[in-house]
Amino acid sequence: MDAVTSPGAESGATRRRILDAALELASTTGLRKYSMEQIARTAKIGRATLYLYFNGKDALIAALVETELARYFAGIQSVIDGYQDADDRLVHGFAAAYRLLRDHPAFTTVLRVNPELLTPYLIAENSRAMDLARGFVYSVIRPGDLPDELRAQFAEHVARTIHSFILIPGGVLALDTTGGPEGYARRFLLPVRKALAADSQIRFM
């Protein structure tokens, strides 16, 4: 007996195909040049079908950003889950966060070709990406590592650090050398977290 594909599964597969096509085009040409017609051709669907899922390019870009952010955070989480020690989780989680974003083909192409399209997501006030990044970092800092208020502050510190390194590459910190992100985290992030933890113990004695 042939397997029957449910309408919901088929709809989900079509949506993924559209987003994969948009990701492929963004990786090669950036976001501004491609059209909905190009996405439909790349996804091998009709233009009318494409508009059933996304009513325009802005909606498609927003969905693509959300999907890739979810994939990005899942990649970091998979690395962090391999460590139990708080120091290792911070060092290797930071390194994964930096490398995954630095090496993302679509992100790097768009950042080079039309960075203005990323402004609403990355550097605008109340940035969606910053909110998600801060929330993610907060979620992976265990409650025993820092008090709640300091977890939130340290999470924002880490998120803003990664943003600045990605948006303003280069400098003398050598993050792109072998072990560079890990070395940065050990020298500049671990001491901050440990100082916050020590300060909180003094305050609550």
Largest CA distance in the chain: 70
Write the DSSP assignment of 92-122 as a string of letters: HHHHHHHHHHHT-HHHHHHHHH-GGGGHHHH
Which pTM value belongs to this model?
0.86
- 5 vs 35, which has greater pLDDT? 35
CA–CA gap between residue 143 and residue 178 (Å, rounded): 31
CA–CA gap between residue 161 and residue 139 (Å, rounded): 17
pLDDT surpasses 70 at 5: no
CA–CA gap between residue 25 and residue 39 (Å, rounded): 8
- Closest to 101 measured CA to CA, from 156, 167, 160, 152: 167
- Cα torsion for 86, 74, 161, 153, to the nearest 10°? -60
- Closest to 32 measured CA to CA, from 5, 6, 57: 57
Query: Mean pLDDT across the stretch 51-55?
Result: 95
What are 107-162's pLDDT values in tens digits?
Answer: 999 888 888 877 777 777 778 888 899 999 999 999 888 988 899 999 999 999 99
What are 85-120's pLDDT values in tens digits?
Answer: 999 999 999 999 999 999 999 999 988 888 887 777
Q: What integer pLDDT is reported at residue 201 of this predicted model? A: 67
- Determine the CATH number of domain 64-203: 1.10.357
Contact 195, 202 (CB under 8 A): no
What mean pLDDT is reported for the chain? 89
What are 169-204's pLDDT values in tens digits?
Answer: 889 999 999 999 999 999 999 999 999 988 776 454
Contact 145, 86 (CB under 8 A): yes
List, in order, residues 6 or more apart from 182 with CB less than 8 Å away. Answer: 91, 92, 94, 95
Query: C-alpha 181: how far from its chain's center?
Result: 16
